[in-house]
Homo-oligomer: A and B are copies of this chain.
Amino acid sequence: MAMETVSTNKAFGGAQGVYKHRSSSTGTEMTFSVFVPSHAAGAKLPVVWYLSGLTCTHANVTEKGEFRRACAELGLIFVAPDTSPRGEGVPDDPAGAYDFGLGAGFYVDATEAPFAKNYRMWSYVTEELPALVAAEFPADMDRQSITGHSMGGHGALTIGLTYPDRFKAVSAFAPIVAPGQVPWGEKALTGYLGADRAAWRRHDAVALIEDGARLPDLLVDQGTADNFLDGQLKPELLEAACGAAGIPLTLRRQEGYDHSYYFISTFLADHLRWHAERLG
């Protein structure tokens, strides 16, 4: 589980690092970024996980997310994994589409050939990388929270709903709330998990809630000018599921905001404050 430092840069008094390691989950080299704020010697800090969207790597949020000022103020470690395995021999979408394969792991452990060997992002993000972060950084693993954007919002919601005791706060930006009901999700879950929709339900936030998963509360920001709002994101489905389940959802429809990092960067500090309140 050796980890190699790709780069570190001082920022907002802390250290923004990029690291790579050989992943046993994916069978590939994986790159991720971690921001560690300035802290007292020996202190352990809460950890916020940020899962990125389609086409992204760790770099998008690291460069454009504008999270470091708030993390420094609040004393939060911020971890940003990649969105899929990459490298020679890793199968991609047969047509090279952006919404499946490379950059589009959908935070599942694939069961279908030829993806099952490498596309194990669920295990990577929920088991292997947390163990590495716990070993290598001043992380208090009893205080974790999770957020993400779009496909990564889907990942944050499904992982948060699956491990409500591990994550003290769960939020999302423009998440795919019901992949089983929209084209991006239907394509990905078919490709990674096969045609049996029963196997999809634990990777679908709305289905998880319908099947009994619960959270103490949930924060979601969604831009009203998001091109993917009606076709792929459908926050009203999450609203209905949370309403039926009694999950207090704060769904903020942000007027005029789109699907880009201009939207995320505007509200990410808000989310971090909300996480910090719940991380204690």
Q: Which residues of A contact B (CB under 8 A)?
A: 9-13, 16, 63-64, 66, 68-69, 223, 225, 256-258, 260-263, 265-266, 269
Contacts and interface: CB of A to CB of B under 8 A. Distances in A.
B63 A256 contact: no
A262 B9 contact: yes
B69 A66 contact: yes
| From A66, A223, A225, residue with most partner B Cβ within 10 Å | A66
14 contacts: A9-B260, A10-B223, A10-B256, A10-B257, A10-B263, A11-B266, A12-B265, A16-B262, A63-B63, A63-B64, A66-B66, A66-B69, A68-B266, A69-B269
Copies of this chain, whole number: 2
Chain A, interface SS category: mixed
A263 B11 contact: yes
B66 A258 contact: no
Nearest to A66: B66
Contact of A265 (B11, B13, B225, B261): B11
Nearest to A223: B10
Given A63-B63, A63-B64, A69-B66, A225 B263 contact: no
B10 A225 contact: yes
Contacts of A265: 11-12, 66, 68
A261 B269 CA distance: 19
A263 to B, nearest CB: 7
